[in-house]
Amino acid sequence: MYISSRVGATIYRLVLGVIAALGVWLQFNASGVAAWRLLATWVMLIASIYYILGGIFSLAMRRLSPGFEICPMLQGALVVSGIMLMIGAVIFAGCGMDLPGASGIGGVIVNFLVPVLMLVGWIFFSMKGLWRPIDPFNWLAFLVIYVGFVLLSSFYISQSSDLIYPYEILNYERISIATMLWWLVLFAVIDLIFGYLCVVIDFAMSGRLSETIVLPRIKTIVIEEDEAVSTVPEATKPSTTNAAQPVSSTKSPIALETKPTAPTKAPIVKVNVEGLTDHKSAKNLHGKGPKSSKAPELTTSSPKSPKITTSSPKVPETPKPKSASQPPSKSPAKPTEAKTSKPIKEVKNPEPNPAKPKSSKSESKKSSDKISITSPVKSKSDPV
């Protein structure tokens, strides 16, 4: 995680390198040639060279990421050494020891401004995940090499020089070797602590934390069982033979609600027959009575098809036999008029009942009446 701006990273590194070079000049201006023996001088010199080259490299190599570092291990050594410069300045000021080198504004630039800028540049403009767990010991080697250089070179420097031991904690002739070792161990521990803290932050910001730390996988199964309450009345409940039997298990029982199926009504088919007035004419229609010359036609109408009514021809009325005693009438006999048809009646499942025979006169008068007979027809959905 970093700012992927090539222009911003380049400008920041160049500016930091120039400020570090300014710190080198301030050190030599304050201490002269003896400034070579100061830790801050070495840190400022290496930082100026590294960050100026890093800015030029970032601008020239456009095929690489803006957060690419030339030497991540050297960058970490500079960051941790800058932190040690700030901590050392605070400890020396607290213990009343003299801190050689630049003072005033120059001391603030060398001991505080440049270390803070190196830390901020690493956080915002550098790729993360490039440091290794062994790197804090490599960074500590930088301080160990500096201490060894100062102690070994003290035998070859004129005793009149003021910076034979630039820091009082290294003057073992004055504070004893044990005290010097105690101070060196203290600074080494502080260096390792901050070094590993930087490694942890670098690793956390790299985004690889989730790939390394394996969390336990806990598989959770949630079973929701809604207790259904049957609201079916007792009269409409199905028989126990057709109802689903509950499965026996160790879990809590689940009430099964069964809904009765609504009975399907068979469609009623109406049959309109002309000339059918009573049960006797129905018998004649079924072939039990006297056979007629022409049977009436039946038409059925279903709910989906339109009703078609066919009328049968009227049966001619048979004339009454005349008795011998009655004189023949001069005028021709007028045909009897048919009575008005009675309203159509709907009879479901008609069954012929035995009835007393009526006179032929009543049959002829009611022959033109209509009776509708409706019989249920099984639909396709009804079970056989």
Identify the pLDDT of residue 99: 85
Identify the pLDDT of residue 140: 94
Q: Give the structural domain span for 56.
A: 6-154+163-212
Residues 186 and 274 in one domain: no
In angstroms, rounded to a whole number, what is the distance separating the alpha carbons of residues 326 and 275?
33
Identify the pLDDT of residue 366: 47
- Mean per-residue pLDDT, 205-213: 73
**Non-local CB neighbours of 376 within 8 Å, separated by 6+ positions:** 266, 267, 268, 269, 348, 349
315 domain-assigned: no
217 domain-assigned: no
Locate tokens 């730390």: which residue? 213
Residues 283 and 206 in one domain: no
Identify the pLDDT of residue 317: 55
pLDDT(379) > 70: no
Residue 300 phi/psi, 5-degree rounding, is -105, 145
In angstroms, rounded to a whole number, what is the distance separating the alpha carbons of residues 226 and 238?
23
Q: What's 110's DSSP letter?
A: I
250 domain-assigned: no
In angstroms, rounded to a whole number, what is the distance separating the alpha carbons of residues 61 and 75?
19
pLDDT(260) > 80: no
Residues 181 and 306 in one domain: no
Q: What's 329's DSSP letter?
A: P
- Mean per-residue pLDDT, 110-125: 94
218 domain-assigned: no
pLDDT(341) > 70: no
pTM of the full structure: 0.55
Identify the pLDDT of residue 249: 47
Identify the pLDDT of residue 173: 87
252 domain-assigned: no
* Dihedral sign computed on CA atoms, order 233, 239, 244, 249: positive
Residues 43 and 191 in one domain: yes
Domain end residue (candidates: 212, 227, 244): 212
Residues 27 and 138 in one domain: yes
As a whole number, the mean pLDDT across the chain is 73
- Residue 68 pLDDT class (50, 70, 90 cuts): confident
Q: Please write the tens of the pLDDT for every residue from 271-301.
A: 565 555 666 666 666 655 554 445 544 444 4
- Residue 5 pLDDT class (50, 70, 90 cuts): confident
236 domain-assigned: no
- Residue 109 pLDDT class (50, 70, 90 cuts): very high
Do residues 289 and 283 touch, judged by C-beta distance below 8 A? yes
Domain end residue (candidates: 171, 186, 212): 212
Residues 52 and 116 in one domain: yes
Q: Which residue has the higher pLDDT, 6 or 319?
A: 6
366 domain-assigned: yes
Do residues 165 and 171 touch, judged by C-beta distance below 8 A? yes
What does 50-86 look like in DSSP terms, one character per residue? HHHHHHHHHHH-TTS-TT--S-HHHHHHHHHHHHHHH
Residues 300 and 169 in one domain: no
- Mean per-residue pLDDT, 320-348: 47
If one counts the domains in the chain, the total is 2
Do residues 119 and 79 touch, judged by C-beta distance below 8 A? yes
Identify the pLDDT of residue 257: 52
Residues 180 and 295 in one domain: no
- Mean per-residue pLDDT, 361-380: 45
Do residues 64 and 96 touch, judged by C-beta distance below 8 A? no
Residues 282 and 347 in one domain: yes
Give the β-pairing of 299-301 and 346-348. Answer: unpaired
364 domain-assigned: yes
Identify the pLDDT of residue 104: 84
Domain end residue (candidates: 196, 212, 228): 212
**Per-residue b or e along 38-69, where b marks 16 or more CB atoms closer than 10 Å to that residue's CB:** bbbbbbbbbbbebbbebbeebbeeeeeebbbb
Percent of the chain residues past pLDDT 70, beyond the cut: 54
Residues 274 and 176 in one domain: no
- Residue 1 pLDDT class (50, 70, 90 cuts): confident
Residues 294 and 183 in one domain: no
pLDDT(246) > 90: no
Do residues 37 and 166 touch, judged by C-beta distance below 8 A? yes
Residues 54 and 171 in one domain: yes
